[in-house]
Amino acid sequence: MATAPGPERIIARSPAEASVLAPVVVSKIVDHGPLHRLHRIYERSGVDIPVSTLWEGMGKVADRCQPRVDRLPEKTLAAYLNQTDATGVKVLDPESPENIQRGTMWCYVGDERNVVFGYTPTGEGARGPWEFLAGRTGYVQADAASVFDRVFNGRVASAVEVGCWSPSRRKLTELQDLDCRVAYPLKLIARLSRIEPLGDAKGLASDERVALRQERSHPVLEKLRRWLAATHSSEPPASDLAQAAASMINHWVALTRFLQEGRLKLDNNLCEQQLRAIALGRNNFLFFGSHCAAERAAVLYRLTRTCALHGVSPLAYLTDVLRKLAAGWPQSRIDELLPGGWQTATAPP
């Protein structure tokens, strides 16, 4: 007897097709749903898929995509502007007290197009930004956390620091119910934020945006700088207001870097938005099952968040890409399977 060849298998010795695996990944990574909840949803439809099988399928998808996802760090590091931040995650670890270890998800965004997540078991910079950004000389935007200092001071890299206005504003916002004097600097910072959409609406080029910032943002910054100097000199050093002012003064050069380059951003909010996916997942499924599981999740977060920046449906993308990988997609055309290349290839004529 002769039979027709069956479909290419995405997972060896598994009948699971892309139309099954892709929704599982999207439910967990994009919609932040625990796999136990997904198991019950399938069970109500008459399909009993064990949680262990769902998780194994997600892990195999991550392994399949890993060689392709490794191109994203190259593209991100080659970007004109890198934005970076991090958030903590809980991971099951039998060797840790209470069987839980707090790991870290580091996020890097390159030119608002590509996203890279990297998991480390601790919050130390040695396996995070010090390793990923080693040797960088271009612009890097981050908050004022000390873990990023070595990226700028030449110890691991000599990147150009671009400050983020959001933490500075946040420190003042926390004081507005206690001290009415913060209303003035908050008003000035809000004015800076309102100037930026004007450049977007006009579609200004980089040099034109610099001219706009010099004309409108620079006078606002001068008023803010004078207020900070006066407040810092008159307030007791231990007061919250003096410390907030001192933090802004110490990072003034980085905070005002956007005046000289039109492609720089006032804040690091885009990177923080990518981390929101981690935070929502943390609230729903609480922890990752192991350090290996967290590393695999980082691979899938890279793909799905890069899809989000390109406006690509993660479900359609993963379904199509998994089928192409199973069919033996050539390594020489790997960029076509990244969200940006896939979007171009599948765009209607």
At residue 126 the predicted structure's pLDDT band, cuts being 50, 70 and 90, is confident
Residue range 119-143: mean pLDDT, rounded: 92
Q: Are 38 and 27 in contact (CB under 8 A)?
A: yes
* Structure letter (DSSP) for residue 17: -
Measured between alpha carbons, how far is residue 223 from residues 89, 216, 229 in Å? 40, 12, 10
Per-domain residue ranges of the chain: 18-75+288-346, 79-162, 165-266
Q: Are 157 and 138 in contact (CB under 8 A)?
A: no
Q: pTM for the full model?
A: 0.92
Phi first, then psi: give them for residue 139, nearest 5 degrees: -80, 135
Instruction: For 222-258, write each residue's pLDDT tens digit.
Output: 999 999 999 999 989 889 999 999 999 999 999 999 9
pLDDT at position 194 over 90:
yes
Which pLDDT score, from 0 to 100, does residue 280 have?
92
CA separation for the pair 310, 302 (Å, rounded)? 12
Length of the chain: 349
pLDDT at position 8 over 80:
no
pLDDT at position 272 over 80:
yes
